[in-house]
Structure 1
Amino acid sequence: MSFTSVVLHAPFAPAALALASLFACSSAARAQDTTMAALSPVVVTATRTPAPLDRVVADVVVIDEDQLRNAAGSTVEDLLREHAGLQILRNGGPGQSVGFFVRGTSTNSTVVLIDGVRVGSATLGQAQLESLSVAQIERIEVLRGPGSSLYGADAMGGVIQIFTRRGASLAPRVQATVAAGRYGSSEASGGVSGAVGGFDYAVSLAREKSDGISAIANAGDTFGNYNPDADGFTRRSGSAQLGYTPTEGHRFGLRWAESKLESQYDGAEFLPPDFSPDASADFSNKLDTRVLALDYAARLGNTWRSELTLAQNDDELVSGGTQLSRFETQRRQASWQNTWEVAQGHTLVGLLERLEETVQSLSFSPSERSRDNDALVLSYTGNSEAHRWQADLRHDRNSVYGGHTTAKLGYALQLSKPLSVRASAGTAFRAPSFNELYFPGFGVETVQPEKSRSMEIGAAWREESWSVQTTAYRNRIRDLIVYEPDRAFCPPQPEYNFGCARNVARARLKGASLSAQGVQGVWHWGAGVELLDATDARDGTRLLRRAAHTATASLAYRASSWGARAAVQGVGKRPDAGGTVLPSYELLDLGAHYVFARQWRVEAKLFNALDKRYEPVKDYGAPGRAFWLVLSYDSQAL
């Protein structure tokens, strides 16, 4: 697979072409095998209330339990890249710092939730996916497109919601996995879930480690950070859920999830007397992410549901070599959501939310900073025969940057049984991070939120055994917060002699996605293409590290007791710092599994089977060919 540069001057043209192709292939499609499940998965991220995926107006991707079952040896970012079309950046191998682009927006423009609780560093303004373990996850939902009208600040690109495991069946379900691979890598995880009496429960623990590779690929990197030692990681994680249903329609729930990551990286210190770069220290990141939540859900009659949630997220990072820095984030969140089924097919959601954020670091003066945010959300969804619609309105009042109102309106039309079309438009914003407000020599307290306006159109053709979806979008962002090197635009204090944060840039993001998946007998297949034109609106130059296009394809064979799978991922050329253009690359992953004694499964995997050498980010390397052997047990496996 090879890639050439693509620029989209008419962003909705791909959707129109895909729509025409759907009509052209309709007669052949009806002859396909009809083994695909007719029921659509239920999602909550698009509307904040459960709804069938094929009935929501938004562009939502689900990574389900079946896909997660095959994820041993993979990371959360690997899954998002393959199944949700995200562009992923990683400063080296697994465990290293991860960035991601949803529709070309920056990492800090996507909200990440764990069971509805916002997570991540408020100093950086983003979630660190590298801290999360696949072992704790039951499913992932990705809302692609603006989500501020439901989730507030930072959802300009979308929302990633991770759901941890929860007990359901009466009989206890026991799951366990052990795996080993190249670079001294290993995984071990186990969990039990079930329900008894009025209680439901789920507990899961995991440990992962790898000796890793050198994060910087070669000597002579831009900042002199190269150190030839291997940069590995250790990640320990756990989750637990306990629910009590005293009477039908009423449930109390307690949730806990935590991950501890320790990873080495390549860096440099500039120490006296000559302040030249010294990369010899053993640099490491120690990241602890914790979520604790208490909730109560009640069904009050046949048409009214009420949910009250109290939650806290703690995020602590200790980073450095011989000199360490510490950044702590604490979020307290309280929400009260009411869902009213006004009439059959018509639902009204009202939400009151309070979010308090506090950061602590000796890098700040004073060392503790805080802000709070109050929000009101109203959302209306409806469907009537062939018509579906959604209207969201949210107002946020923040103690630091004031009030912001965002809205989104979407409509979908079922043209025929298999074919539907949709369109939506919305506004969103990104709040300045604490670093952009307060970090010495960079942060400026008058920096304002970034703002965006976007619109999209899409089409879907869904048969019982296969489906095709396409979306085209345009997003304009203004007041982008960037580094301003010109001293004249910064505060007068001497500490700003080298620049500061400033609202100055504008961006144009437009693109299209096309994906298809299906089942024909024992064969399962999927493919996707993402096209992106991400430019600086001031001069038309491409935004750094965004590929013009990416593509994925997979083919799996599944018999009663064994199966095999091949997956290909391709990433086009990307501009990087200093005028560098990183070349395109393609990755091939292979796997085969065998099921014995029904509950036991052994699997062999070969990641990067062609041993492709590439730089995901300028100067940083990626793992070569890696073989994994996996043994897993599931007491309720079919």
Structure 2
Amino acid sequence: MTRSLLGARSCAAVRATPVAAVCAMLSAPLWAGEARELAEVVVTATRTEERADAVASTITVEDARRIRQAMPVDETGLFADEPDIDVPRDRRRFGAGSINIRGIEDNRVLQMVDGVRLPDYYSGGGPSNISTATREAPEFSFLKRVEVLRGPASSLYGSDAIGGVVSYATRDPEDLMGGKSAGAEVGLEWNGIDDGFRQTAGVAGGTARLRGLFMYAHRTAHAMKNMGGDDSVSVARSTPNPQDAESNAYLGKLVFDVTPRQRLRLAFEHRDASSSTDMLRLSPALPRVPFADGTEDMERNRVSLDYEWRPGNGLLDRLTAAVYYQKSLSNTHTNQVRSRTSSGCSGTRGGPNTCNVALAFDFEQAQAGFNLQADKAFQTGSVGHRVIGGVDVVNTTSEEGRDVTTFNTTTGAVSKSLAGENFPLHDFPKGETRQVGVFVQDELRLLDGRFTLTPGLRYDHYSLGPENDPLYSNAAGQTAVSKRDGNLSPKLSALWQATEHVNLWAQYVFGYRAPNYREINGGFRNPVQGYGAAPNADLDPEKSRSFEVGVRYTGQTVQSSVAIFDNRYTDFIEQARLNCPSDPSCLAGLRGTYQYRNLSKVRIYGAEWRGSWQLAPAWRVDGAVAYAHGTNEQNDQPLNSVSPLRASAGLTWEPARADGPGAALRWRGARAVTRTDDTRITYFRPGGYGVVDLQAWWRFGKRATLTLAVNNLFDKKYWLWGDVRKTGVSATEAGVDFYTQPGRTVSAGVTVAF
């Protein structure tokens, strides 16, 4: 996978890393152009524009130029040089899944595109590996920036931001117009990591008051490469499963300046992706399945209208409002051949039969939302204020389903029953989740603006109501329940500008995540194997308390930061096996019952450093290190979602800020995995590694830019812990090279702007 190129940023590369911070004790001559770029503006940390080096939190920025130079094929590549971010891949079939920030992942990290939440991540688990719906990040060529906020952010964003926020911003007409009345862009990119070929095209134009944009991207690819050598059809196969993939994406925008102080923006975004996979690496948990293949199809559509008003004088400095609708659908189809199996086509029990089994899974979400926000700055005596307040409303409809058809070729029997379940069925009932959040915060500036104290508070109310769903009732054997609750999420942060270049900051933040549809109402029965899952209407929201301190140095040629954090999570929701039959939630007639419950107390603490030094006008060195230690305090076991110490570094040569010429030598590494919770399985523990990438870019004339990359320059064989633990790879599993990263690959891209 092509690695992200932090070194491709300007001297302000880590300018945008308001990461917690300790200063670098270096000084160097001033290059005025670089100094001006230090005033990077971010939005996610405070929900309004703020200088990145003046926020009391840890946030990083990836801009369009760096993304274009890095040529990532998925989120794993996009964040490869951020050592505190991990995006595990399902190497068997589905690829990159959910984003992990400092050991917290899945639906505990909020992801947004232009302020609209991406659909939930869903994984049903199981050895058949059929029921997964990834969040599918937006098309990278449409992005102008990505902001990542670390740690709980519920005081501004509510539920699902308990681990952090990833905010994607798509391009506007002005980004293609380049100061002209019209502009266009075309691009081609080939990536050797998955033999992927991308074509992009965009056009924008208009008048001073009305402007429009349309972009299109198409990509075809194959299986992600690794360094395995066994291409047999077996549990020991280590070469990739053959795969063909294709995606299409569209982005349209209209921007209308109603008056010089009022703006309307209408946006439409579409993305669809499909793949077909021959699953030649067999599952040891399904010994009667000698062959399987499948397809995945995903589609997401969003339409949004936002309004901004900046009155010259009056009660408010700025008022923004937005309405949106988004719908996503994921479908998975899997075909299995089951040989020497029972008459019921079991995947584990033996017999004289051969069966063809068709399995289907779908997951659909529709979101309709509205938000309103107002900002106002004013003075009371010697204290300056900037008050931000607003309301967020979102209504989400979720629906999941599984279906199975078995054809026993030995007896000729066709059935809609498998493993004691009758299909089609729903593992949770279709229903709505309604969330309303009201928030306010006040930035109080004291001591002539050198000290900023920011209290904030948000109240969220959520309610979950299921529909009458007979497909669910037949499967769960229990009636679906409703759930409603509310929560207050306070925050207090402080920032002290100790000198012109050094500031120190601290924040104490509360976070929360409401239980979702599956955790409250998820249920099924498998009478053949004697187990099932029961709903739980008594789940409480997950809570967190996070304390973080940092010190940041921002000079003309040196930027450096260090952050220390301690995050404590309570009422973590986990699926537990009940003590049956004494527990009243046990399902009658089954040996085992599982249920989501508030069980764990989790603590994650650690430290991070980032820095950049413009050692000469054309040369820059940068680096980052992240350490985290996680423990499930419920059982005093290590938290497997926390990665070992990781680091990145780069040397960049770039005579000018324009698109070339330039080159970067990048290094990334990690220590060996030593702490794992082996309660369920004894994990395969990857060793430490160090990997080098080489990247270069040139600009030809005024329009064309060429980018080249050699990834894993020295053909290093290594594993990422996220891939291993997400799949559950045991120490005794055959063919562990299946989970290795790609060896040496070459990528190239060209962009022409008109």
Select 1:405's aligned residue among 467, 471, 488: 488
Q: CA deviation at 1:294?
A: 1.0
Q: Any conservation in 2 of the 1:92–1:214 contact (CA below 8 Å)?
A: no
Is it true that 1:395 corresponds to 2:459 in the alignment?
Answer: yes
CA offsets, 1:585-613, max 9 Å, x none? 33221112222122112222111222223
Is it true that 1:538 corresponds to 2:634 in the alignment?
Answer: yes
Q: CA deviation at 1:291?
A: 2.1
2:368 partner amino acid: R
> For residues 513 and 35 of structure 1, do their structure 2 counterparts lie closer, same or farther at Cα, with a shift above 3 Å needed?
same
Aligned equivalents of 1:78 and 1:528: distance in 2?
16
Aligned equivalents of 2:65 and 2:638: distance in 1?
37
1:436 partner amino acid: E
2:389 partner amino acid: G
> For residues 610 and 432 of structure 1, do their structure 2 counterparts lie closer, same or farther at Cα, with a shift above 3 Å needed?
farther
Select 1:525's aligned residue among 602, 613, 621: 621
Aligned equivalents of 2:639 and 2:81: distance in 1?
22
Q: CA deviation at 1:222?
A: 12
Is it true that 1:507 corresponds to 2:618 in the alignment?
Answer: no
Q: What residue is the counterpart of 2:364 in the other structure?
A: 328
Q: Any conservation in 2 of the 1:393–1:407 contact (CA below 8 Å)?
A: yes
Aligned equivalents of 1:496 and 1:329: distance in 2?
34
Q: What residue is the counterpart of 1:256 in the other structure?
A: 268
Which residues in structure 2 correspond to 1:264-279 (within 5 Å)?
Answer: 264=276, 276-278=287-289
2:78 partner amino acid: L
Select 2:672's aligned residue among 553, 566, 573: 573
CA offsets, 1:553-574, max 9 Å, x none? 1121113552211111113334
Q: Any conservation in 2 of the 1:226–1:266 contact (CA below 8 Å)?
A: no
Which secondary structure does the structure 2 equivalent of 1:586 belong to? strand
Q: Any conservation in 2 of the 1:201–1:240 contact (CA below 8 Å)?
A: yes
Aligned equivalents of 2:565 and 2:635: distance in 1?
21
Q: What is the number of residues matched between the two proteins?
A: 613
Aligned equivalents of 2:66 and 2:452: distance in 1?
29
Aligned equivalents of 1:452 and 1:289: distance in 2?
31
Aligned equivalents of 1:434 and 1:279: distance in 2?
35
> For residues 355 and 521 of structure 1, do their structure 2 counterparts lie closer, same or farther at Cα, with a shift above 3 Å needed?
same
Is it true that 1:339 corresponds to 2:433 in the alignment?
Answer: no
CA offsets, 1:155-182, max 9 Å, x none? 1111000000012234323222202232
Q: What residue is the counterpart of 1:433 in the other structure?
A: 516
Aligned equivalents of 2:645 and 2:672: distance in 1?
8
Aligned equivalents of 2:279 and 2:47: distance in 1?
42
Q: CA deviation at 1:270?
A: 12
1:133 partner amino acid: E
CA offsets, 1:91-126, max 9 Å, x none? 229961323321211222110010111112265699
Select 1:485's aligned residue among 577, 587, 594: 577
Q: Any conservation in 1 of the 2:257–2:263 contact (CA below 8 Å)?
A: yes
Is it true that 1:140 corresponds to 2:146 in the alignment?
Answer: yes
Q: What residue is the counterpart of 2:36 in the other structure?
A: 38
CA offsets, 1:205-238, max 9 Å, x none? 1112211147996699998998963234222222
Q: What residue is the counterpart of 1:382 in the other structure?
A: 444
1:317 partner amino acid: S
Q: CA deviation at 1:622?
A: 2.8
Aligned equivalents of 1:18 and 1:251: distance in 2?
37
Bigger shift: residues 588-597 or 341-350: 341-350
Q: CA deviation at 1:190?
A: 1.8
Q: TM-score, normalised to structure 2's length?
A: 0.75
> For residues 250 and 631 of structure 1, do their structure 2 counterparts lie closer, same or farther at Cα, with a shift above 3 Å needed?
same
> For residues 347 and 131 of structure 1, do their structure 2 counterparts lie closer, same or farther at Cα, with a shift above 3 Å needed?
closer
Aligned equivalents of 1:72 and 1:143: distance in 2?
23
1:360 partner amino acid: E
Aligned equivalents of 1:267 and 1:249: distance in 2?
57
Larger Rg: 2
Q: What residue is the counterpart of 1:473 in the other structure?
A: 565
Is it true that 1:241 corresponds to 2:241 in the alignment?
Answer: no
Q: What residue is the counterpart of 2:480 in the other structure?
A: none
Select 2:208's aligned residue among 184, 193, 197: 197
1:102 partner amino acid: I
Q: CA deviation at 1:545?
A: 4.1
> For residues 73 and 18 of structure 1, do their structure 2 counterparts lie closer, same or farther at Cα, with a shift above 3 Å needed?
closer
Aligned equivalents of 1:228 and 1:473: distance in 2?
39
Bigger shift: residues 217-226 or 290-299: 217-226
> For residues 338 and 110 of structure 1, do their structure 2 counterparts lie closer, same or farther at Cα, with a shift above 3 Å needed?
same
Q: Any conservation in 2 of the 1:122–1:433 contact (CA below 8 Å)?
A: no
> For residues 260 and 605 of structure 1, do their structure 2 counterparts lie closer, same or farther at Cα, with a shift above 3 Å needed?
same
Aligned equivalents of 1:112 and 1:320: distance in 2?
27
Aligned equivalents of 1:216 and 1:373: distance in 2?
46
Q: CA deviation at 1:477?
A: 0.6
Which residues in structure 2 correspond to 1:554-633 (within 5 Å)?
Answer: 554-559=650-655, 561-574=660-673, 575=676, 578-580=681-683, 581-616=685-720, 617-618=723-724, 619=729, 620-633=739-752
CA offsets, 1:261-310, max 9 Å, x none? 22345769999xx9745262222332222221111221233343211211
2:35 partner amino acid: A
Which residues in structure 2 correspond to 1:3-402 (within 5 Å)?
Answer: 19=22, 22=23, 26=25, 28-31=26-29, 35-39=33-37, 40-83=39-82, 85-92=84-91, 96-121=95-120, 128=134, 130-168=136-174, 169-182=179-192, 183-213=194-224, 229-264=241-276, 276-278=287-289, 280-302=291-313, 303-322=316-335, 323-343=359-379, 346-362=385-401, 363-364=425-426, 367-384=429-446, 385-399=449-463, 400-402=483-485
> For residues 572 and 175 of structure 1, do their structure 2 counterparts lie closer, same or farther at Cα, with a shift above 3 Å needed?
farther
Bigger shift: residues 253-262 or 434-443: 434-443
Q: CA deviation at 1:245?
A: 1.0
> For residues 269 and 290 of structure 1, do their structure 2 counterparts lie closer, same or farther at Cα, with a shift above 3 Å needed?
farther
Which secondary structure does the structure 1 equivalent of 2:35 belong to? coil
Q: TM-score, normalised to structure 1's length?
A: 0.88
Which secondary structure does the structure 1 equivalent of 2:435 belong to? strand
> For residues 82 and 304 of structure 1, do their structure 2 counterparts lie closer, same or farther at Cα, with a shift above 3 Å needed?
same
Bigger shift: residues 329-338 or 301-310: 301-310
Q: Any conservation in 2 of the 1:333–1:353 contact (CA below 8 Å)?
A: yes
Select 1:497's aligned residue among 576, 592, 596: 592
Is it true that 1:454 corresponds to 2:558 in the alignment?
Answer: no
Aligned equivalents of 2:245 and 2:21: distance in 1?
43
Aligned equivalents of 2:536 and 2:211: distance in 1?
47
Aligned equivalents of 2:226 and 2:154: distance in 1?
35
Aligned equivalents of 2:110 and 2:503: distance in 1?
28
Q: Any conservation in 2 of the 1:87–1:546 contact (CA below 8 Å)?
A: no
Q: What residue is the counterpart of 1:415 in the other structure?
A: 498
Which secondary structure does the structure 1 equivalent of 2:545 belong to? strand
Aligned equivalents of 2:105 and 2:248: distance in 1?
28
The Cα RMSD (Å) is 3.1
Which secondary structure does the structure 2 equivalent of 1:582 belong to? coil
Aligned equivalents of 2:604 and 2:307: distance in 1?
40
> For residues 204 and 428 of structure 1, do their structure 2 counterparts lie closer, same or farther at Cα, with a shift above 3 Å needed?
same
Select 1:551's aligned residue among 630, 637, 647: 647
CA offsets, 1:112-162, max 9 Å, x none? 010111112265699945443211111011111111000000111110000
Aligned equivalents of 1:201 and 1:279: distance in 2?
53
Which residues of structure 2 form unaligned runs of 5+?
A: 1-17, 125-131, 336-358, 402-424, 464-482, 525-532, 730-738
1:171 partner amino acid: S
Q: CA deviation at 1:35?
A: 4.5
Q: Any conservation in 2 of the 1:359–1:369 contact (CA below 8 Å)?
A: yes
Which residues of structure 1 form unaligned runs of 5+?
A: 1-14
Which secondary structure does the structure 2 equivalent of 1:66 belong to? helix
Q: CA deviation at 1:472?
A: 0.5
Which secondary structure does the structure 2 equivalent of 1:54 belong to? helix
